[in-house]
Amino acid sequence: MLAGPSSAIGSLLDPGGILAGSYDGPIIKRYSFDGDEEATLTITGGPSAIKGIAVVSDRLFIVHHSPETVYEVNPDTGHVIARFSVDDEMNYPESLGDNGVNLLVVDRNANPDVLHEYSLDGVHVGSLTLNYSSSSGNMNTNGVDSDGSCVFTADNMLNRLVEYDAGGNVVMDIALPTIPNHSHIGYSLGYDWMSDNIFVGFSDGQIARYSRSGSLLSTFQSAFKVGGLEITGVPEPATLSLLVMCIPLVIGRRRTARLVRHNQ
């Protein structure tokens, strides 16, 4: 059930907020960009923790790797109202984002990591290999999001922010600037369409805001280890029609819709 200062927001999904999911519990908190806590939503009927968050067309989704499932959540009550399995395509989904139209899920146990795209009803649209290579080791993606043309990821191994083009090739690769006096392991990522900024949530509860080029702009402390991150607010409808063409994923075996709905 949604709880918090009733005067702060009308809905959890109102534009201009940060949704942070607990890596260790079924809780989503909404924060302002200044770090003020505005609301708390407890998830019921779903996973024990949150490994990724996405909001598309005013619909709220979360993901967990055990079992390998994407859940749709009522943003007012916190009840899971639908779910679909992704275990046919991957074995360790621990990040969830979107491109403004469809959901993006990364299999971090693939080598290299593979990005999968799903419709909101659970149809597997296609996949994209994220061609990251480094002398430091392999990427271990824990956060993903997109601006509609490029894909952003953060990881909890190399602690890097990486941008990929539509072919899965690296176009930006930077070490995340150190936040003084805090362990610095990226566990989630959200892209803000309005400011063109990227937000990363960390294992110590810090949420950091970065410019598109990777400069650290601000930080605040959240209530928990941040397993999922999403910035509320959507592009203009005229833009949405273009986004589905901006990431031409390699089309694989399409499946019929497998979203299973539950009583709300």
Q: For each of the chain's 264 residues, which pLDDT tens digit applies?
A: 666 554 455 689 998 999 999 999 999 999 999 999 999 999 999 999 999 999 999 999 999 988 889 999 999 999 999 999 998 887 778 789 999 999 999 887 777 888 999 999 999 999 998 888 765 566 677 889 998 888 998 876 777 888 898 888 988 888 776 655 555 567 799 999 889 999 999 888 889 999 888 888 999 999 999 989 999 985 544 444 334 434 444 444 445 556 676 655
DSSP string, the chain: -EES-TTT-S-TT-SS-EEEEESSSSEEEEE-TT--EEEEEE-BSS-SS-S-EEEETTEEEEEEETTEEEEEE-TTT-BEEEEEE-TTT-S-EEEEEE-SSSEEEEETTSSS-EEEEE-TT--EEEEEE-B---TT----EEEEEE-SSSEEEEESSS-EEEEE-TTSBEEEEEEPPPPTTS---EEEEEEETTTTEEEEEETTSEEEEE-TT--EEEEEE-SS-EEEEEE-----HHHHHHHHHHS--B--------PEE---
Structural domain boundaries in the chain: 2-257
Give the predicted TM-score (pTM) of the model: 0.87
Domain 2-257 belongs to what architecture? 6 Propeller (2.120)
